[in-house]
Amino acid sequence: MKNIIDARGLSCPQPVILVTAKMKEMASGEFTILVDTDTAKENVSRAARSNHWVVGSIEPDGDGYRILVKKD
């Protein structure tokens, strides 16, 4: 089962805080984060990469984005 974080409607830095906490909790694996602004998309992607996780995909999802983050 995939882990999904719904950060739609949250202002930065809240989506980044959520994704950072999830990366620390998991250590490896994959999860999806849903965001609804370009700023959140960029900040979440940057946070993932700076913590040595891979942004697998960024797909449009309604009025926002679905971001797949993973680490082996």
Angle value at C-alpha 59, between 45 and 47, nearest 5 degrees: 5
Q: Report pLDDT for 18.
A: 97
**Residue showing tokens 């906490």:** 21
Question: Per-residue pLDDT tens for 28-70?
Answer: 999 999 999 999 999 999 999 999 999 999 999 999 999 999 9
CATH of the domain at 14: 3.30.110.40
pLDDT exceeds 70 at position 1: no
Helices 38-50, 14-26: axis angle to 10 degrees equals: 30
Give me the number of domains the chain comprises. Answer: 1
Predicted TM-score (pTM) of this structure: 0.93
